[in-house]
Amino acid sequence: MKRAAGLFFALFAVYAATIGLDSFDESDYGGDEPHYLLAAESLIDDGDLDVKNQYVERSYSDFYPYDLDKHGVETEGRLHEPHGIGFPLLIAPAMAIGGEQGVELFMAALAALAVMLAYLLALRVAPDPWALGAAAAVGLSAPLLAYGSAVYPELAAGAALAGAAVFAVRLDAERRRPRLEALACFLLLGSLPWLGTKFLPVGLVIGVFAVRALMRHRRKLAAIIGVEAALFATALLIGLNEALYGGPTPYAADAGGETVTDAGFPLGYLERSYRLAALFIDRDYGLLRWAPVLALAGLGAWLLYRTRRDRLEAALPGTHEQQLAATICAAALGAGLLVAVFLAPTMFGFWFPGRHILVVLPLAIPLVAWGLRQAPRLGSALAALSVVASLWLYLDVLLGDGGFALDRPDAPFGPLTGLFPFFGDSPLAYVVAGVLALALAALFARDARHWRHTAGATRDRYSG
């Protein structure tokens, strides 16, 4: 626990060092950040989320130097912007105490907590120094640095998700009285839709693992109590949304003609499939461009696949906990990736790349730790390159004219950044994505064929 505490305080200090840095131009906040702050201010001043009078009085001018566009439409003469209830409620106490910078400090603590909890999960997958190295490398990567003190709900939800994953793994170990742990796990999961409807699918994945663990150990009552707690929190939220936004989700208050995902079924969603590659390799918002160390999560996922396919858990019972923790994280990452690819209206905006996948990014740490243990030299080089990217980005925003949302530097590859494909009008990027998909499919096919051959030879050898 000393290492976990040390990691928390170190990352908290790093994230707090980004307070006051520009998002774009002369503004410290971009995208939806000023809208969350305005809603929190309305809670403090008026005790409600109606920001209509705040817009009339231009209350946002204290923290946003430009004209702020209204989001959503009025409901019965009140303006409840479609950003949800939970996050403004969460940050309102911090804003009442320390203003907008108090909120940033609070967010830095939540971001550090998310990484620390993911480190505890990583210890079940790989020992130190691999787990600690992976947590430090991912925690110091550019996406976590840029969002470390940002006023967005993603890392708050990430902390809740990582905490629920920790409890889900612990529930799998048979205990005499798992009810409190089950309740804590499902309360954390129940908080996710309060922070954002888009976090619900990832929470459901963790919830399935928690229920399976309880049912496997015949803890039906604990499972029922936990699920009912999560359902009650969700039902309460739906009722409040109906009253405030005129629908079961805040998206009911969106401007006319807009949809939740801004895509038509089915072609609109199929057209977004290119994001499966673009989210990683696009020149502007690709995660591997900004945090090369995340490539180790792919290696970790491959090792998990090989381990489960070879059924090593049956031969080596001690690997059960390792596989469980890695599987939970991989499943949550997969769910988060699908949400980002198919449900997010756009990948671009006044925010740093990776926002839509940020909620599950801490859960990549256990897989990164596994990959780092398997390929320590390559992993160390990727980790160092990721830290260089973060330092370059930080110094450019601190000392130069750049910002986290706009005018970002060419970190960490400099002129070589142009080698990354740009998923715009050029068809080359889509060709690259197609080639990578075919190469990945060929890798799995070759491995499956080799496994069938070796498995058959082994059976023949020992068949007598």
Q: What is the 3-state secondary structure (H, E, C) of 322-383?
A: HHHHHHHHHHHHHHHHHHHHHHCCCCCCCCCCCHHHHHHHHHHHHHHHHHHHHCHHHHHHHH
What's the mean pLDDT in 314-326? 76
What's the mean pLDDT in 94-114? 96
Q: What band does 174 get if pLDDT is binned at 50, 70 and 90?
A: low
Q: In whole angstroms, give the CA distance from residue 440 to residue 130.
A: 26
DSSP-derived secondary structure for 143-165: HHHHHSS-S-SHHHHHHHHHHHH
- Report pLDDT for 460: 45
Pick 136 or 219 by higher pLDDT: 136
What's the mean pLDDT in 268-290? 86
Q: What percent of the chain has pLDDT over 90?
A: 54
Average pLDDT over the chain reads: 88
- Report pLDDT for 114: 98
- Report pLDDT for 255: 65
Q: In whole angstroms, give the CA distance from residue 419 to residue 275.
A: 18
Q: What band does 400 get if pLDDT is binned at 50, 70 and 90?
A: confident
- Report pLDDT for 371: 96
Measured CA angle at 362 (ends 278, 412), to 5 deg: 50
- Report pLDDT for 459: 41
Tens digits of residue pLDDT in 13-35:
999 999 999 998 888 999 999 99
Nearest to 3 by CA among 296, 390, 17, 11: 11
- Report pLDDT for 464: 41
Tokens of 391: 């330092």
